[in-house]
A and B are shown apart, each in its own frame.
Chain A
Amino acid sequence: MKCIDLGLSDYKEAYKTQCEVRSKVAEGACENTLIITEHKSVITIGRIGSEKHVFKTEGIEVLNVDRGGDVTYHGPGQLVAYPIFKLENEARDIHGFLKFLEEVGISFLSKYGVMAETRPGMRGIWVKDSKIASIGIGVKKWVTYHGMAININTDLRPFSFIKPCGIDGVKITSLENLLKERLDIEDAKRKIKESFEKIPLLAEAVCKG
């Protein structure tokens, strides 16, 4: 797995990079690649989303994007991971891949001593009654893009401008909020990379037998 760190990026620029890498991975010209970044503040609406779920913006740009799911916020202090992975043979299972992403997120959070879980029928990764990470992907020619956004030191206020993921009354949290200390984002990048390398992509398919 290759890893590209875009640093603090503009959403549209990073999207362009995702698409370029996705084409290369689809052609076999590039191995599976993990793009990691923090985005400058932006609100994005997925394919299932509605502009009605954005109440105010305070000047934050709003973009319609080609991933699953509803509305979310990205901003500095949030670790965004875009796995551009080719799904081949038994791995051609989009929801199996989503399960993989959830496991990667849970493994990442466990490195901080945080017990996270998924909730039946709810999207993303949760710590007790608060959502800490959002997941939404796209798949083209069996190559995945978009991915997972985990709140590390994110300013959580802009989440109150929107109805995150279209869910009523959802509480959003961050690692900083849970651990009461500001965390090193570079260390978080190393940890997420390790989690992607450790969790097998095919665990779900193997379990299904």
Chain B
Amino acid sequence: MTTRTGQQHPLGIYLKIWLLLFVLSTASYMVDYYHLQGYLRWTLILIFMVLKAGLIIAVFMHMAWERLAFVYAIVVPPALLATFIGIGALEANYTHLTRLLFFSPEQTAIVHGH
């Protein structure tokens, strides 16, 4: 036997995750196929996305079997992106409002006092 430096796990788990990823992808495609709209659509898209991403990272990329010190070093920094998303959303809302205020015809009329 070789020294166990690498990740070795039973084949079955990969096949099960593979199948699960197919099911989840089909489910997210169905969201579009059946034209679900609004909050239902967005919630389902996010749930299926998070599940798929989690399975890929945990099993295919072996994060589930790594030591916590390593997992934290890799998984925590991308959490910063949540802050960027927040800042981006604030900025986008502001831009959207100013555009509505200054670029739409009737609003332009109000601003210029016609």
Task: Determine if chain A interacts with chain B.
Answer: no
- A residues contacting B by CB (< 8 A) are none
